[in-house]
Chain A
Amino acid sequence: MKFQIPSLIMAILERDLRLALRHGADTLGAVLFFILAGALFPLALGPSPELLRRMAPGIVWVCALLAALLPLDRLFGAELEDGSLDQLLMTGLPASLIALAKMMAHWLTTGLPLLLAAGPLAIMLGMPSGSMVVLLTGLFLGTLILSLIGGMAASVVLGARRGGVLLPLLVLPLTTPALIFGAAALDAAQTGLSWGPDLELLGAFLAAAIPLCPLAAGAGLRAAVE
């Protein structure tokens, strides 16, 4: 056998990024949802700067969490439907590494754009610029966790009918710790408390998810093609 694992992972990433660029509207959908949902809050809550500033951490985090859910359904669903998943498994790459590559692609096409859009949204909501570093660091870790847990859930519900309904029910409870720590770090930063421990807990969560989620997702992919 003449394949090398890193070069195959790169090939899957390249393929997914190219597809994301070709179908730009699908890719931008999640970011658009994020910005629109965030922009609705001032309209609904009234234009009180003080209220918005206090709620900004929660709004940004919840909107990012929901936006990252949107493309999950198609992450493996599209591969299963057109038979590409069979061909991916036939490359000889272990199923868990295929899942990892797809999760990385999800982060690059959804998490990274969300991260870029989070800054402007936070400024719009009046978040003090001092908390921006905490927000972006927390969201960086948070979106990675979302891609890992979301990818795992997407592969587990793959092949199940009405998997799209099941997906948020699986993902949201598993990602609540990330939401709590991320928003708590921002709260602490705004009130002048130490925000380090919350981000460290987020990092610990990520460190546990990196090996575990691809393994579970690989088993899900194998089961889906059976």
Chain B
Amino acid sequence: MENISVFRGERLVLDRVGFTLDAGDALLLTGPNGAGKSTLLRVLAGLRKPEGGHVLWSGVDALADRSQHAGRVAYLGHQDALKLGLTLRENLTLAARASGGNPDLCMKSLNISGLADLPARMLSAGQKRRAALARVLLAQAPLWLLDEPSLGLDINTMDLLGGLFAAHRQAGGIVIATTHVPLPLPNARTLALPGLNESDIPQPMEDFPEDDLL
């Protein structure tokens, strides 16, 4: 049913990376720091346009209509994107409005219902990460793009996350995650990004004078 194939070539970070996933599949992106794992996720989310290649969804170019693509994707960045002055529930309101989902149910599945009315500035790093994961759940999207979802999570929450992953994949959803630690994703395929070659390293340095003009 769902069938994504990505084939893209980018000058620096990613060079002609390609893969295909079916409904229920999971893919782990691994590689050294700076290998382009987060960049690849942002391309798949439609936040960044690839310099070459295509992202296909069921055979159709997904990035042609990025607003429509956004409805298919739940994106978790390396930042939690919570407004510290708002309560947890208020932080989730916008995502709930966008998807029509129920924020209370999502907070319950990540075990943070008790924190719903606390301002986000009072939460710990792990609790904030759980709140950001609740937003992923809230999006009710078939494709989950998670940038190091386990950051700051305790063992109990990792188990919880395993259950959520399993339920999502059982319902035909796809999980693509970057990680440096093992995630509870059985039978996940792994794509190892090679990282920078020696010859690529001077190239970003050349960009600096250009940037300095601003």
Residue of B42, B77, B98, B212 most packed against chain A (CB within 10 A):
B98
Residues of A contacting B68 in the complex (Cβ-Cβ under 8 angstroms): 1, 92
Specify the chain A residue showing the minimal Cβ separation from B72. A1
Total count of chain B residues near the partner, CB < 8 A: 34
Asked if residues A226 and B47 are in contact (CB atoms below 8 Å), the reply is yes
Stretch at the interface among B16-24, B79-87, B169-177, B184-192: B79-87
Asked if residues A15 and B48 are in contact (CB atoms below 8 Å), the reply is no
Q: A-facing mask of B94-123, CB < 8 A → 1, else 0?
A: 110111100000000000000000000000
Specify the chain B residue showing the minimal Cβ separation from A92. B70
Residues of A contacting B99 in the complex (Cβ-Cβ under 8 angstroms): 2-3
Specify the chain A residue showing the minimal Cβ separation from B71. A1
Q: B-facing mask of A69-96, CB < 8 A → 1, else 0?
A: 0000000000000111011111111100
Asked if residues A15 and B93 are in contact (CB atoms below 8 Å), the reply is yes
Whole-angstrom CA separation of A161 from B70 in the bound complex = 29
Chain A interface residue bracket vs B:
20 to 34
> How many Å from the CB of B114 to the closest CB on chain A?
21
- The reply on B197 being an interface residue by CB < 8 A is no
- The reply on A7 being an interface residue by CB < 8 A is yes
Asked if residues B83 and A86 are in contact (CB atoms below 8 Å), the reply is no
B85 in complex: contacting residue of A19, A86, A161, CB < 8 Å: A19
Residues of A contacting B77 in the complex (Cβ-Cβ under 8 angstroms): 83, 86-87
Asked if residues A226 and B49 are in contact (CB atoms below 8 Å), the reply is yes
- The reply on B135 being an interface residue by CB < 8 A is yes
> How many Å from the CB of A96 to the closest CB on chain B?
11
A89 in complex: contacting residue of B70, B71, B86, B139, CB < 8 Å: B70
Asked if residues B86 and A87 are in contact (CB atoms below 8 Å), the reply is no
- The reply on A117 being an interface residue by CB < 8 A is no
- The reply on A40 being an interface residue by CB < 8 A is no
Whole-angstrom CA separation of A223 from B110 in the bound complex = 34
Asked if residues A90 and B83 are in contact (CB atoms below 8 Å), the reply is no
A87 in complex: contacting residue of B71, B95, B211, CB < 8 Å: B95
Specify the chain B residue showing the minimal Cβ separation from A83. B79
A90 in complex: contacting residue of B48, B70, B100, CB < 8 Å: B70
With A1-B68, A15-B90, A15-B93 as known contacts, state yes or no: A87 contacts B48, CB within 8 Å.
Answer: no
The contact sample of 20 A-B pairs, CB cut-off 8 A, is A3-B100, A7-B97, A8-B94, A8-B98, A14-B93, A15-B90, A18-B85, A23-B85, A82-B80, A82-B82, A83-B78, A84-B81, A89-B47, A90-B47, A90-B70, A90-B73, A90-B75, A90-B139, A91-B97, A92-B98
The 6 closest A-B pairs by CB, nearest first: A83-B79, A83-B81, A92-B70, A1-B71, A160-B214, A91-B98
Residues of A within 8 A of B (CB): 1-3, 7-8, 11-12, 14-15, 18-19, 22-23, 82-84, 86-94, 157, 160-163, 166, 225-226
Q: Given contact pairs A86-B47, A93-B98, A226-B47, enumerate 9 new A-B contacts (beta carbons under 8 Å).
A: A2-B100, A8-B98, A15-B86, A22-B85, A83-B77, A84-B83, A87-B77, A87-B94, A90-B139
Residues of B within 8 A of A (CB): 42, 45, 47-49, 67-68, 70-71, 73-75, 77-83, 85-86, 90, 93-95, 97-100, 135, 139, 211-212, 214
